[in-house]
Amino acid sequence: MSPGPVKELFSSLGVECNILELDQVDNGASVQEVLSEITHQNTVPNIFVNKVHVGGCDRTFQAHQSGLLQKLLQEDPAYDYDLIVIGGGSGGLACAQGRDRLGECRGNFHVAFSIGSCRSGEEGYGAGLRGPVTAGHVVGGCSWSVGLLRVVPAGELLPWDSAVDRVAHLPVFFSLQERMHRFCAGYFLRSQKADKLGGLGGTCVNVGCVPKKLMHQAALLGQALTDSRRFGWEFSQQVKHNWGTLTEAVQTHVGSLNWGCRLSLREKAVAYVNAHGEFVEHHKVKATNGKGQKTCYTAAKFVIATGERPRYLGIQGAKEYCITSDDLFSLPYCPGATLVVGASYVALECAGFLAGLGLEVTVMVRSVLLRGFDQEMAERLGSSLERLGVRFLRKFVPVAVLQLQKGSPGKLKVVARSTEGPETVEGVYNTVLLAIGRDSCTKGIGLEKIGVKINEKNGKIPVNDMEQTNVPYVYAVGDVLEGKPQLTPVAMQAGKLLARRLFGGCLEKCDYVNVPTVVFTPLEYGCCGLSEERAAQEYQRENLEVYHTLFWPLEWTVACRDNNACYAKIICNKFDNERVVGFHILGPNAGEITQGFAAAMKCGLTKRLLDDTVGIHPTCAEVFTTLEITKSSGLDIMQKGC
């Protein structure tokens, strides 16, 4: 398209613009190639306004109608910060601290950044930080926190996407030089039920991956104690588990991680102050501290990284008497007989370690286990939990939770209704744990005031493959993204790479394909790539070959544990050299095993490469180097001995 309409628009606004006609210059093709990499736009005109990429004609006129263009057209926009990060979980911190590979700073830099999610007027970890403010100043956030970053070099070095002429869209390309920014952040996490404040690091550190894995380990140790007698260990004293000792140890470790982050802030000479942030207009957020004092900050770019929080059921007694995973890991008393509502990986992981600690556990399932995961693997995982003593109540949903007796724990009656008919059931439990999903924290931060589109149904933010929203200067990373894996390492990778692109001259984008993950149930389930269901949709079932087997870990033989509980399979595309498109394992240490094979899948792993690999004996992972039986053959995979 001709730049004429846009040029006329600028002329009508009294703005001079510079135009580079790519077909009129010798290196036009090279310039277009670089522009495509930088902007992810393959059409012309490609318009930049005051260092910000706006887009083509349509997006420029949309920006004019929304008032954004006028904001960008200020002759010398004096933003307080180059970047404001809203949210303090894994993605936000990784973006703020994405300093590796950015080279060495030039000149003197002033850095300010803050995030958090406590309610106004509350204090959290880091609120008492003090120290000389020489390198920067952090304004801590409340209830979806505000992160502020300002980089003011003494020299004239600009970020790659600022390398444009002052007014319109004449690109000024120069030798990109890497820069290092010492970003820092604080995070406050508040349980929705108890007034429990967490610390730096977001859900993963405080109420997610870290405490969950430690409690998973506690359950494994219980099984190891049982196995140990078969290996010759003799002990006569009664062995029992102490919930208080466990939670104290877990919270001590979580606190040490919080402290490590705070120590890093002190070393960077950053002061930390609580505030709640929300957009008030384009390029401007308002921060309100616990005393109600308000301060406004402006920035050239913003990153939304507010994550998600557990969802409550809209039924009688849900918020009054139920807990979520936000509460479980610091629960001051043993939960006792527990009803877990939900069939997500969070639900099954919690059910698994609670059962492993010797508690009575029931899981209420509305439809299927692990929706979105391979369903054969999900059912096998469910069977492993049943063998551990977990009871499944399938095709039921709770309709009311009533308190029968107060206490720590007390007694609760749950009334549930069948999803397939009028049948109802009742049960009495000490604790009801809700694990029915999570809601994106995109409300209440003023996104509607600047026109950022969100999916009204689920609160997710649509972005392009550069993590850029429909508003050019606003980006998003982590669990708030629509259609992306909701995993801590994914958020960290996306945040880190976004920082490198914005400030380090890098072009690398986050690869959301073949992301490995693991469900930390007592018998772990690790996977990478496609489920059988998804692979059949993508490649057609007749084009796939599935190799599989049951296996018996050597450690289980002497302990006389089930010889047909562990399972491995790979899904191969027959017409692509039997490339592995799905990797699945249910067995001990599945997370450690899957991580290694995920790297191989990134390199184009095929069945032949697995066959040519010498296994390490005796290990569980070596089973993937000896797979021979296909599902299509119908041959028996049952293990009958060593």
489 φ, ψ to 5°? -60, -30
Q: According to the annotation, is 163 in a ligand binding site?
A: no
Q: According to the annotation, is 116 in a ligand binding site?
A: no
- Angle at CA of residue 112, ends 107 and 118, nearest 5°: 165
- Burial 626-642, CB ≥16 within 10 A → b, else e: ebebebeeeeebeeeee
Is 617 a residue of the active site? yes
Contact 582, 535 (CB under 8 A): yes
Q: According to the annotation, is 479 in a ligand binding site?
A: yes
Strands 338-341 and 431-434: parallel
Contact 381, 247 (CB under 8 A): no
Q: According to the annotation, is 348 in a ligand binding site?
A: yes
What's the rounded Cα separation, in Å, for the pair 579 and 577?
5
Q: According to the annotation, is 437 in a ligand binding site?
A: yes
Strands 338-341 and 284-288: unpaired
Structure tokens that stand for 485 in this block: 């894996």
Map residue 110 onto helix, strand or coil: coil
Q: Which of 53, 110, 584, 617 is catalytic?
A: 617
Nearest partner of 47 among 165, 160, 173, judged by Cα:
165
Q: According to the annotation, is 347 in a ligand binding site?
A: yes
473: left (phi over 0), alpha (psi -120 to 50) or beta: alpha
Q: According to the annotation, is 100 in a ligand binding site?
A: no
Nearest partner of 412 among 348, 464, 309, 341, judged by Cα:
341
Residue 341's beta-bridge partner residues? 364, 434
- Burial 219-232, CB ≥16 within 10 A → b, else e: bbebeeeebeeeee
Q: Residues, the chain, total?
A: 642
Q: According to the annotation, is 268 in a ligand binding site?
A: no
Annotated binding site for NAD(+): 342-349, 437
Which positions are catalytic? 617
Annotated binding site for FAD: 213, 277, 479
